Amino acid sequence: GAVVSQHPSWVICKSGTSVKIECRSLDFQATTMFWYRQFPKQSLMLMATSNEGSKATYEQGVEKDKFLINHASLTLSTLTVTSAHPEDSSFYICSAPRRRDTEAFFGQGTRLTVV
């Protein structure tokens, strides 16, 4: 079964509004979670590393004020796309490494469409 749950799986919002995406680790604690973005027919691009209890680390070129990350507990990280624009439309995926495993587990992804 899924060990990382992401919600919602899809969302349509109006331009200028904000959207929050949740990522939960289901049966383990994750001090670190990762947020990725995938454009059509392209690879998964790491946006930021979410750190429990501290500030997220953003990859080069990712606007931290645009993509707000909150890792308030050991099982929940949220990504808020603020003042969304059509160019923010994409597939957003989170992942969390489980300590005893070497591979990271991914959420189901969120399809964001900004109209």
Partner 1 sequence: DQQVKQNSPSLSVQEGRISILNCDYTNSMFDYFLWYKKYPAEGPTFLISISSIKDKNEDGRFTVFLNKSAKHLSLHIVPSQPGDSAVYFCAAKGASMEYGNKLVFGAGTILRVKS
Answer for the pair 46, 36: CB distance below 8 angstroms, yes or no.
yes
Compare residues 66 and 98 and give the one whose CB is closer to partner 1: 98
Question: Is residue 69 close enough to count as binding partner 1 by CB under 8 A?
Answer: no
Tokens of 72: 């308030």
**Which residues have C-beta within 8 Å of that of residue 75, sequence separation ≥ 6?**
24, 25, 26, 29, 30
Question: Is residue 19 close enough to count as binding partner 1 by CB under 8 A?
Answer: no
Compare residues 48 and 114 and give the one whose CB is closer to partner 1: 48
Q: Which stretch binds partner 1 (CB under 8 A): 1-9, 13-21, 67-75, 77-85?
A: 1-9
Question: Is residue 65 close enough to count as binding partner 1 by CB under 8 A?
Answer: no
Answer for the pair 114, 15: CB distance below 8 angstroms, yes or no.
yes
Q: Which of 81, 87, 85 is nearest to 69 (CA)?
A: 81
Q: Which of 50, 84, 107, 112 binds partner 1 (CB under 8 A)?
A: 107
Question: Is residue 32 close enough to count as binding partner 1 by CB under 8 A?
Answer: yes
Question: Is residue 97 close enough to count as binding partner 1 by CB under 8 A?
Answer: yes
